[in-house]
Structures are given as structure tokens and as C-alpha cells.
Structure 1
Amino acid sequence: MSETTMHVGLVIYGDLNATSGGFRYDRQLVSYLREQGDTVDVISLPWRSYPRGLVDGVSPSIRAKLDRSVDVLVQDGLCHPSLWRQNHQLEKPGAIVTLIHHLRSDDPTERFGPTFRPFERRYLESVDAAISTSQFSRTRACELAAELGRKPTLVAPPAGRTEGAAVTPERVRKRAVTGPLRVVYLGNVVPRKDPKTLLAAIARGHPERDWELTVVGSHDADPDYAASVVMAASEYGIDDRVEFTGKIEPPGLEAILERSHVCCVPSRYEAFGMVYLEAMEYGVVPIAGSVGGAGEFVEHGHNGFVVEPGDEAGITTHLQELDDQRGRLAQLGKRALVTARQHPTWDESMSDIRAFLGKQSDGEQDV
């Protein structure tokens, strides 16, 4: 426990226990701060449509929930619709720090994303400091709101599930030479993560290749889209090669990762990409989308591959290469293990955040 403790407020939408990488990051932060003896108030705001959220941005009742005597008020940046006009009117927090998982106005699957920019910009201009989960997110936020670049910022990447290597290099080598190429998709079945491009890539190898695909993730975020993905597998004639598990508990996920060769989530936008790191902990070779922060730890051709959005042909080429060259599959998998071992742990990133928050609560303004 730290000798100097803080009173921290954390603003989120909805339930802190919700399923997503962002909420998992927020939970890790709350847990770490409390372990250090800090008091953390989780301030849950209603999760509404974007237009309705903007109305909350001028709501006195929302302002009353936010304006409390805390040393630091940390705000999940995804809540910006409800905060864009609130911060300048808050009198009690010692400092306001945004936690940027990704910019909503950057998401290419947000139909009205470009119209979000003025509100997201105004929000970013209203905070005292910023924490980003990747250098990519920090850069994009400072490009959107130039004023933010003159304020204190910190990049604190998330960790994986095991925080290091979950299997041995020898296990990766043996797995690489056994059975058909086994591919796993990890994540909610939503347009931003683009599972349809992966299905198209798998279909390109059919029927010559006996690749197997396991799609792990909830269908609840966008049920209509998820249903269309299941239908697409049937239309491509590969439904006998594709298993949709839905959301599964950690033991089941770990078992899938232990037997998989490749993790492909060809996201159109991914601010960090925790699933790639989680796969690398098992020596599973990641194929990641190029737009976002995954390139900060997935090195193309060294420990995985990075593909442009919608590049089904590129994905097929990489799968064919790994299928035909099992020694290379093992080599990339073992390099992925090294990356996972060297990546910051949750405690390291959360410790950096806590020190950063302490400086903001003390009024230090080093950029």
C-alpha cells in the first residue's frame, strides 16, 4: 500500500463488468488503485444513443453526478457525448483526466462518425491531461484536439491474460506441425472487427485447403450483423469448417488458444488490439488490421502479419504461407512468445497511471 493515497473518480458508461477490452482495462485500473489504498468512486452514466448522450452533455443531473470532491476525476473517453459541455462547469474535482481507448469519430463503421468530431474535440480540449492505451490513440487525439498535445499525456498499454508466455517454445514447435491449420477469431461479432473478410479469405482456400476456423465472441452487440456472418459462412460453403462458439468463459478460451495456430481479427480499426497480445501469449501468430495500434507490437513478417482493411486476398496468402511452411509458422509463434514476455504487465502500466494521476492531483504540468 502506498503511503500517499488519492480519492479518484472513474466515469464510465453502463456496467464496469461489461464484456470488452476497454471495460477490462478500466476494471484493472480500479482494482490496482484500490490495492494501493486509494478510494475509487465508479460513476456510471446512462449508456444512450449518441444524440441522446449529447443532450446529457448539458444535463444538470449529470453535472451533479460528476461534480464531486475527488483528487482526480478520470473519464473514459467513450463517454464524451455526455461530457462535452460538462467539464468546464465542474468546480470540485482537483484535476480531470481522460482515458482514451479509441476515438469514436475515427471508427469507420460509425455511420455518422465524422459528425462526432466537433463534440469529441471539444471534450478533449476540456480535460487537464490524457492517458492513452496506445501511441496511435495518443497521436490521433492530439491531431483532433491540438491543445491536448500541450497538456500532460501518458501512454499505458494494456497487458494480456497471462502476462507473459502461457506455453513453452517447444509446445509451439510441436503444435505447428500437427493437423490442419487452425485459425481463431477473438472478439465481438461486429462490423468494426470485420469477420466477413476473414470468412472470405478462408473461402478462397476452399476446397483445396482444410483450414479450420473458430469464431469466439458474443453476438449480442449487433445481432443482425452477427446473423449475417453466420449466414455468410453457409453461403461460402464453409460452414462445416467454421465453428461459432459465442461468448465463452476463460477456461474454454484458453483451450482454444492452446490448440490454435493463427489468430486473425482483420479489424478495420483497433486502437490497441488486446486479442492479438492474448494470442501471442500462447505462441499463436496474429494477423492484425493495419489501422490502429496493433503495429506497435505486431511486427509484419517477424512475429505476425498486418493487413489493410478488407484485404481478404492478403489474409489468404499469409494463411497459405503458414500452412505450407510449418517451420516458419513455428518461428513466428516463438517470436510472438518473446513479444508477450517483454510486454508491460498490468501492474507496470497501472503503476505508471497511478504515478501520472498523482502528478495531476498535485498540479504538476510536465508534458
Structure 2
Amino acid sequence: MTAVPPVVWFVVPDGVDDPERVSGGNVFDRRVEVELRRLGWVVRLVRVEPDAPGDPFDGVPDDALVLLDGLVAISAPAAVESAARRLRVAVLVHMVADAFEDADPRMVEGERASLSHAHRVIATSEWARDELVGRCLSPADRIVVATPGADAATPTAGTSAGGSLLCVGVVAPHKGQDTLIEALAGLAADPTWSCTIAGSVSADRSFAAKLETDAARAGLSERITWTGVLRPEDLDAAYARADVLIAPSRTESYGIAVGDALRRGIPVIASRVGGLPEAARPEDAAILVPPGDPTALGFALRRWIEDPGLRARLSAAARRSAPDRPSWRETARTIGQTLAGLT
């Protein structure tokens, strides 16, 4: 007799696959959906606009398994409370709102209320798990960690000068590209580097416009390429040309781009904040600097550019560790086992 495949209702933000709304959370959701299907799950995708009126669980049958994106959960805590009485709900936490000083108080309260009713909480980093426990948002025995995966890729060769810099992520204040521009301004006299900044500029257009203005004033316009959102094949090509990935975030729960770079054998210069140090393992494949500190980032970049021995050591460590990076299949398997445990 053929076994009946397990079913999960995956409630995600509307626009999860919109290329102009690319985020780490959206990438995570899309990849997990694909890999759960490959593992034999029937995934019923429910798209919800956060803060939209109505019940995001309307139409989900009683006793169903639900995987709920945390952004939707935060915006609908009353619906989560009601759903938890008739459904088996696991909330997927991409970010811990309460950990950020400038968080909207409504998001913080929505997070606390919705997580209190979740049957399981799936955190996307060890840092997020520790924050959830430390802030009494969820007990440790209810939390499972499923870190983002990375796809297998051919290691990059890099350039002899090491000056091909890459920064990947939505162009927004929390990603810290302004820190990077200021750091690069201090290296303007060095002719050996160029920088590609890949990511959507639509999240905060005024911030993106100011960055371009600041870069122009520093005389960097011809050395910085703003690509906007890249198609997967073009993003692969950008990684293939890169010597080092720069992740200057002010806040970050993990850092998918960091994992993607290291999976390709590309070392990383990143902020020591949130889950970035976790993503940037092993330590000998990365340089970590304080967040929001252009002087420290500029010093790290100068070390990278001027010291071929340092570049060789970091690159070798990144290439050695590349095969050991977790895959998206492993991420989805952890989530699937968590969901199955709720049956």
C-alpha cells in the first residue's frame, strides 16, 4: 500500500518570490519549499500580505500542520493564538525583533504574543535561538535550529591582486553599505580594487540614492558597480569574479550571502554582530570587525589588499571548508523532522 505523503501548509509573506523584494527570509522560504517537496512533502503555499485584514489560516483544515513565517506571525498574533487551538503550528523565526533597538514596538509585542502560542519555534541560527531564550520569547525545549543552506558550487580562482570586492544584500541601512562606502573612500588612492554591490535598491530608495551620491563625492563612482537584483546566473557570475565578500551589516540573524561565498571558497570580511560570526565559520576564513565602524572595516580591507599572505591563508581556509557547508536539503530535512514531530 502506498504511503500517504505528509502535508504542510506553509504560510509566507505575499511577494516571497518578487525579485524586487528579495530578502534572506524570502530566499529561505523559497528554498525550504522546494526541498520539502523533494523530500516527499506536499506543500500547500498560502501567501499573506502582513498586516492585511482577515485570518491567514482561513481555509486550513483542522489538525493540519502549519509552517508559519515569522513576519506573518508577528503581524497576526491573535490569529496565531486562535489557530494554535485547532492546528499544529511551527513558527519560522528569521529575525528576533526584540533584539533590535529600533524595532517597532508593535512588532516586538506581536512577536512575543505569537511565539507564546507556537507549538514549535524554528530559529534560523544559534544566535537567534539564544536571543529567543534569553529574552523569554520561547523556552529552549520548544526551539529547533535550522540554519540556511548553500548550494554546491565550483570554487572560484580569484584574482592575483585580490581587489575584486563583492557585497550582496538589499541596499538598506541595516545592511551597512554606507559603512562600506565610507571605508572604501579611505582606500580611494589605491588603484587595485573595484567593488560590486548587488541587491535591491527599492527597499529604501532615499538611502540608496544617498549612497550613490556619497560614492560620487568620494570619487568612487567608476570603481563601484551597483547591479540591483541579479538573476541567479548573474549572481553566480558575480561570485565567480569575487576575491572576497564584504558583509558590513549592523544587524543580521545569520547571513545567507556569507554561506554562499564560503561554499564557493571565497573568504569573508564581515561585521561581528548577530549570527554573522556563526555564518562566517571557520574563523580562519574570515575577518570580523565591529559593526558600523568604517575605520575598522577600512583597516581590514587594506590588510586584505596589501597582504598576499593573508589573502592566501584566508582563501585556502575557505576552500578547505567549502565541502562541509550545510546544504538546503539538510535545512529542509531538519524542518521536516520538526514538523513530523508535531503529528
TM-score (norm 2): 0.91
Distance 1:332 1:286 in 2: 8
State the match for 2:297 in structure 1.
315
Alignment partner of 1:14 is 2:17: no
2:21 aligned with 1:30: no
Equivalent residues of 2:171, 2:177 under 8 A apart: yes
How far residue 119 of structure 1 moved from its aligned partner, in angstroms, is: 2.2
Equivalent residues in 2 for 1:154-303, closer than 5 Å: 154-160=144-150, 162-163=151-152, 165-167=153-155, 171-172=157-158, 175=159, 178-179=160-161, 181-299=163-281, 302-303=284-285
5+ residue gaps, structure 2 = none
Corresponding residue to 1:101 among 81, 94, 99: 94
Q: Distance in 1 between matches of 2:56 and 2:259?
A: 38
1:346 aligns with 2:322: no
Residue 128 of structure 1 contacts residue 151 of structure 1 at CA under 8 Å; is this kept in 2?
no
With over 3 angstroms needed to count, the CA separation of the structure-2 counterparts of 1:237 and 1:31, relative to structure 1, is: same
Deviations 1:199-219 (CA, angstroms, capped at 9, x unpaired): 111111121453211111111
Instruction: Using the TM superposition, give the Cα deviation of residue 70 of structure 1 relative to its aligned residue in structure 2, in angstroms.
Output: 5.0
Percent identity reads: 25
> 2:70 is matched with which residue?
77
Counterpart of 1:62 in 2: which secondary structure?
coil
Q: 1:114 to 1:92 in 2, by over 3 A?
A: closer
Contact 2:75 2:107 (C-alpha < 8 Å) held by counterparts: no
CA 196–321 in structure 1, closer or farther in 2 if over 3 Å, else same: same
SS, match of residue 360 in structure 1: coil
State the one-letter code of the partner of 1:41: R
Deviations 1:89-143 (A, max 9, x none): 22674411100111234345xx453453222111111111111110011111222
Q: 1:12/1:324 Cα in 2 relative to 1: closer, same or farther (>3 Å)?
A: same
Deviations 1:51-91 (A, max 9, x none): xx2xx5xx5x3165265335311111111333211222226
Shift of 1:358: 0.4
1:40 counterpart (38, 43, 49): 43
Are the equivalent residues in 2 in contact too, given 1:287–1:304 (CA < 8 A)? yes
CA 1:38–1:112 in 2, change beyond 3 Å: closer, same or farther?
Answer: closer
Matched, 1:128 2:110: no
Secondary structure of residue in 1 paired with 2:8: strand
Q: Secondary structure at the match of 1:86?
A: helix
- Mark the CA change 1:179 to 1:151 in structure 2 (over 3 Å): closer, same or farther: closer
CA distance in 2, matches of 1:65, 1:338: 49
Determine the C-alpha separation between the residues in 1 that align with 2:222 and 2:300: 22
Q: 1:241 to 1:66 in 2, by over 3 A?
A: same
- After superposition, the Cα gap between the structure-2 partners of 1:33 and 1:299, relative to the gap in structure 1 and judged at 3 Å, is closer
Contact 1:106 1:113 in 2 (8 A): no
Q: Does 1:119 align with 2:110?
A: yes
- Cα separation, 1, equivalents of 2:189 and 2:282: 28
Asked whether the equivalents of residues 73 and 93 of structure 1 are also in contact (C-alpha less than 8 Å), the reply is no
Q: Cα 1:73–1:66, aligned 2, differ >3 Å: closer, same or farther?
A: farther
What CA RMSD, in Å, does the superposition of the two structures yield over aligned residues? Answer: 2.3
SS of match in other structure, 1:240: helix
In the alignment, which residue of structure 2 is the partner of 1:50?
none
| 2:142 aligned partner | 152
Q: Is contact 2:154-2:264 (8 Å) kept?
A: yes
Distance in structure 2 (CA, Å) of the matches to 1:303 and 1:145: 34
- Provide the C-alpha distance between the structure 2 equivalents of 1:249 and 1:303, rounded to a whole number of angstroms: 27
Q: Alignment partner of 2:78: what SS?
A: coil
- Whether the 8 Å CA contact 2:11–2:67 is kept in 1: the answer is yes
Contact 1:72 1:95 in 2 (8 A): yes
Aligned residues: 339
Please report the TM-score for the alignment, with normalisation by the length of structure 1.
0.85
